[in-house]
Chains A and B, each alone.
Chain A
Protein backbone atom coordinates (compact mmCIF):
# COMPACT_ATOMS: atom_id res chain seq x y z
CA UNK A 1 0.00 0.00 0.00
CA UNK A 2 1.32 3.38 -0.98
CA UNK A 3 2.23 5.46 2.07
CA UNK A 4 3.26 8.70 0.37
CA UNK A 5 1.01 9.50 -2.54
CA UNK A 6 1.65 12.15 -5.12
CA UNK A 7 -0.85 13.34 -7.66
CA UNK A 8 -0.77 13.65 -10.53
CA UNK A 9 2.02 11.44 -11.81
CA UNK A 10 2.50 13.67 -14.83
CA UNK A 11 1.54 17.32 -15.01
CA UNK A 12 1.73 19.58 -18.03
CA UNK A 13 1.34 23.31 -17.63
CA UNK A 14 1.85 26.40 -19.71
CA UNK A 15 4.56 28.96 -19.21
CA UNK A 16 3.39 31.35 -16.50
CA UNK A 17 0.25 29.41 -15.59
CA UNK A 18 0.06 28.59 -11.86
CA UNK A 19 0.19 24.91 -11.00
CA UNK A 20 -0.29 22.95 -7.78
CA UNK A 21 1.18 19.56 -6.98
CA UNK A 22 -0.22 17.52 -4.13
CA UNK A 23 1.16 15.03 -1.67
CA UNK A 24 -0.60 12.98 0.97
CA UNK A 25 0.71 10.52 3.54
CA UNK A 26 -0.81 7.79 5.63
CA UNK A 27 2.17 7.48 8.00
CA UNK A 28 1.21 10.32 10.35
CA UNK A 29 4.74 11.65 10.07
CA UNK A 30 5.62 15.04 11.48
CA UNK A 31 7.92 16.15 8.70
CA UNK A 32 7.10 16.59 5.02
CA UNK A 33 9.57 17.64 2.34
CA UNK A 34 9.50 18.83 -1.24
CA UNK A 35 12.45 18.06 -3.47
CA UNK A 36 13.09 19.16 -7.03
CA UNK A 37 15.03 16.79 -9.27
CA UNK A 38 16.10 17.86 -12.73
CA UNK A 39 17.15 15.34 -15.33
CA UNK A 40 20.30 13.41 -14.40
CA UNK A 41 20.77 15.42 -11.21
CA UNK A 42 20.45 14.73 -7.51
CA UNK A 43 17.29 15.83 -5.72
CA UNK A 44 17.45 19.33 -4.29
CA UNK A 45 15.47 20.29 -1.20
CA UNK A 46 13.08 23.18 -1.72
CA UNK A 47 11.51 23.33 1.75
CA UNK A 48 10.13 21.22 4.52
CA UNK A 49 7.46 21.37 7.19
CA UNK A 50 8.08 20.23 10.73
CA UNK A 51 4.49 19.93 11.85
CA UNK A 52 3.18 23.39 10.96
CA UNK A 53 6.58 25.03 11.06
CA UNK A 54 7.65 25.95 7.53
CA UNK A 55 11.37 25.84 6.68
CA UNK A 56 12.44 27.35 3.39
CA UNK A 57 15.84 26.67 1.84
CA UNK A 58 17.80 29.85 1.26
CA UNK A 59 18.12 29.29 -2.48
CA UNK A 60 14.52 28.29 -3.17
CA UNK A 61 13.00 30.80 -5.62
CA UNK A 62 10.07 32.90 -4.42
CA UNK A 63 8.09 31.40 -7.27
CA UNK A 64 7.73 28.25 -5.17
CA UNK A 65 5.32 28.17 -2.25
CA UNK A 66 3.97 25.42 -0.06
CA UNK A 67 0.96 24.75 2.12
CA UNK A 68 0.32 22.10 4.73
CA UNK A 69 -3.32 22.37 5.82
CA UNK A 70 -3.11 19.27 8.04
CA UNK A 71 -0.74 16.44 8.96
CA UNK A 72 -1.67 14.33 5.96
CA UNK A 73 -1.49 16.78 3.09
CA UNK A 74 1.12 19.07 1.64
CA UNK A 75 0.95 21.13 -1.54
CA UNK A 76 3.57 22.67 -3.78
CA UNK A 77 2.44 25.79 -5.61
CA UNK A 78 4.43 27.18 -8.51
CA UNK A 79 3.06 30.65 -9.11
CA UNK A 80 4.50 31.36 -12.54
CA UNK A 81 6.25 28.31 -13.96
CA UNK A 82 9.16 28.89 -16.27
CA UNK A 83 10.80 26.47 -18.65
CA UNK A 84 13.54 25.94 -16.07
CA UNK A 85 11.02 24.60 -13.58
CA UNK A 86 10.39 21.48 -15.62
CA UNK A 87 11.52 18.66 -13.35
CA UNK A 88 10.49 15.74 -11.20
CA UNK A 89 9.05 16.92 -7.89
CA UNK A 90 9.42 14.47 -5.05
CA UNK A 91 7.49 14.59 -1.82
CA UNK A 92 8.93 12.81 1.20
CA UNK A 93 8.12 12.32 4.87
CA UNK A 94 9.93 11.34 8.03
CA UNK A 95 8.66 10.70 11.50
CA UNK A 96 11.02 13.21 13.04
CA UNK A 97 13.98 15.29 11.97
CA UNK A 98 16.45 12.91 13.57
CA UNK A 99 18.61 10.25 11.92
CA UNK A 100 15.67 8.58 10.25
CA UNK A 101 15.00 7.57 6.70
CA UNK A 102 12.75 9.52 4.42
CA UNK A 103 9.81 7.86 2.72
CA UNK A 104 9.36 9.14 -0.81
CA UNK A 105 6.37 9.29 -3.09
CA UNK A 106 6.55 8.29 -6.74
CA UNK A 107 7.00 11.89 -7.80
CA UNK A 108 5.24 14.25 -10.19
CA UNK A 109 6.94 14.90 -13.51
CA UNK A 110 6.21 18.50 -14.45
CA UNK A 111 6.46 19.71 -18.04
CA UNK A 112 6.23 23.39 -18.92
CA UNK A 113 5.20 24.29 -22.47
Chain B
Protein backbone atom coordinates (compact mmCIF):
# COMPACT_ATOMS: atom_id res chain seq x y z
CA UNK B 1 0.00 0.00 0.00
CA UNK B 2 1.09 3.53 -0.70
CA UNK B 3 1.62 5.94 2.16
CA UNK B 4 2.54 9.63 2.45
CA UNK B 5 3.97 11.07 5.66
CA UNK B 6 4.31 14.72 6.64
CA UNK B 7 5.77 14.92 10.12
CA UNK B 8 5.54 18.68 10.64
CA UNK B 9 2.03 19.70 11.67
CA UNK B 10 2.90 23.39 11.75
CA UNK B 11 5.71 25.84 11.13
CA UNK B 12 6.41 29.52 11.63
CA UNK B 13 8.73 31.23 9.17
CA UNK B 14 9.83 34.82 8.85
CA UNK B 15 9.12 36.75 5.73
CA UNK B 16 11.91 36.53 3.10
CA UNK B 17 13.37 33.38 4.67
CA UNK B 18 13.42 29.96 3.04
CA UNK B 19 11.44 27.07 4.48
CA UNK B 20 11.62 23.33 3.89
CA UNK B 21 8.55 21.13 4.27
CA UNK B 22 9.24 17.46 4.77
CA UNK B 23 7.53 14.63 2.93
CA UNK B 24 8.36 10.95 2.86
CA UNK B 25 6.52 8.30 0.97
CA UNK B 26 6.31 4.56 0.73
CA UNK B 27 5.47 2.62 -2.39
CA UNK B 28 6.59 -0.58 -4.07
CA UNK B 29 5.77 0.75 -7.52
CA UNK B 30 8.69 1.94 -9.65
CA UNK B 31 6.46 4.44 -11.44
CA UNK B 32 4.73 7.18 -9.48
CA UNK B 33 4.22 10.92 -9.33
CA UNK B 34 4.72 13.26 -6.40
CA UNK B 35 2.84 16.54 -5.99
CA UNK B 36 2.67 19.48 -3.66
CA UNK B 37 -0.51 21.47 -3.20
CA UNK B 38 -1.20 24.64 -1.25
CA UNK B 39 -4.53 25.19 0.46
CA UNK B 40 -5.15 28.70 1.78
CA UNK B 41 -7.93 29.39 4.25
CA UNK B 42 -10.31 29.94 1.34
CA UNK B 43 -10.24 26.18 0.75
CA UNK B 44 -9.08 25.86 -2.85
CA UNK B 45 -6.29 23.37 -3.55
CA UNK B 46 -3.60 25.05 -5.62
CA UNK B 47 -1.07 22.95 -7.52
CA UNK B 48 2.53 23.97 -6.84
CA UNK B 49 4.95 21.43 -8.26
CA UNK B 50 5.28 17.91 -9.65
CA UNK B 51 8.08 15.31 -9.65
CA UNK B 52 7.95 12.08 -11.61
CA UNK B 53 9.73 9.04 -10.26
CA UNK B 54 11.87 8.76 -13.38
CA UNK B 55 12.75 12.44 -13.59
CA UNK B 56 16.49 12.90 -13.36
CA UNK B 57 16.41 16.47 -12.14
CA UNK B 58 14.65 18.06 -9.21
CA UNK B 59 11.55 19.99 -10.19
CA UNK B 60 11.44 23.76 -9.83
CA UNK B 61 8.57 26.22 -10.28
CA UNK B 62 9.46 29.81 -9.49
CA UNK B 63 10.08 30.08 -5.74
CA UNK B 64 9.20 26.41 -5.25
CA UNK B 65 11.65 23.58 -5.62
CA UNK B 66 11.36 19.91 -4.80
CA UNK B 67 14.28 18.14 -3.17
CA UNK B 68 13.74 14.63 -4.52
CA UNK B 69 15.82 11.89 -2.90
CA UNK B 70 14.55 8.68 -4.43
CA UNK B 71 16.65 6.26 -2.42
CA UNK B 72 15.44 7.84 0.82
CA UNK B 73 11.89 8.14 -0.55
CA UNK B 74 11.64 11.78 0.34
CA UNK B 75 10.24 14.71 -1.62
CA UNK B 76 10.73 17.84 0.42
CA UNK B 77 9.32 21.18 -0.74
CA UNK B 78 11.53 24.23 -0.47
CA UNK B 79 9.94 27.67 -0.59
CA UNK B 80 12.49 30.41 -1.07
CA UNK B 81 11.99 34.03 -0.01
CA UNK B 82 8.74 33.42 1.89
CA UNK B 83 5.94 35.91 1.48
CA UNK B 84 2.97 36.65 3.73
CA UNK B 85 0.71 35.16 1.06
CA UNK B 86 2.48 31.81 1.50
CA UNK B 87 0.65 31.28 4.78
CA UNK B 88 -1.46 28.20 4.11
CA UNK B 89 -1.73 24.45 4.57
CA UNK B 90 0.65 22.49 2.36
CA UNK B 91 -0.07 18.94 1.26
CA UNK B 92 2.29 16.41 -0.24
CA UNK B 93 0.53 13.86 -2.44
CA UNK B 94 1.33 10.86 -4.59
CA UNK B 95 -0.21 9.00 -7.51
CA UNK B 96 0.91 5.59 -8.62
CA UNK B 97 -0.09 2.76 -10.91
CA UNK B 98 -1.19 0.53 -8.04
CA UNK B 99 -4.53 2.25 -8.25
CA UNK B 100 -4.37 2.55 -12.02
CA UNK B 101 -3.29 6.13 -11.42
CA UNK B 102 -6.79 6.97 -10.27
CA UNK B 103 -6.14 8.06 -6.73
CA UNK B 104 -4.18 11.06 -5.52
CA UNK B 105 -3.24 10.19 -1.94
CA UNK B 106 -2.49 13.05 0.44
CA UNK B 107 -0.31 13.41 3.48
CA UNK B 108 -1.68 14.99 6.65
CA UNK B 109 -0.43 18.44 5.70
CA UNK B 110 1.79 21.12 7.21
CA UNK B 111 0.36 24.46 8.31
CA UNK B 112 2.77 27.29 7.44
CA UNK B 113 2.46 30.73 9.00
CA UNK B 114 4.66 33.48 7.57
CA UNK B 115 5.35 36.33 9.97
CA UNK B 116 6.50 39.86 9.12
Contact = CB atoms under 8 A, between A and B. Distances in A.
Contact of A92 (B43, B45, B52): B45
Nearest to A45: B103
A22 B109 CA distance: 26
Interface in A75-97: 88, 90, 92, 96-97
Contact of A99 (B91, B101, B105): B101
A99 B104 contact: no
B108 interface: yes
B101 A98 contact: yes
B102 A55 contact: yes
A42 B103 contact: no
Given A41-B108, A107-B43, A107-B44, A97 B33 contact: no
A45 B104 contact: yes
B contact residues, range? 20 to 34
A7 to B, nearest CB: 14
Interface string B98-116: 0011111111110000000
Interface string A28-66: 000101000000011101001010000101000000000
Interface of B: 31-33, 35, 37, 42-47, 50, 52, 91, 95, 100-109
Majority DSSP secondary structure for residues of B touching A: loop
Given A41-B108, A92-B45, A105-B44, A99 B102 contact: no
Size category of the A interface is 20 to 34
Nearest to B91: A42
24 contacts: A31-B102, A42-B107, A42-B108, A42-B109, A43-B45, A43-B106, A45-B103, A45-B104, A48-B103, A50-B102, A90-B45, A97-B101, A97-B102, A99-B31, A99-B32, A99-B33, A99-B50, A99-B95, A101-B47, A102-B45, A104-B45, A104-B46, A106-B42, A107-B43
Nearest to B47: A101
A98 to B, nearest CB: 5
A88 B109 contact: no
A73 interface: no
B35 A109 contact: no
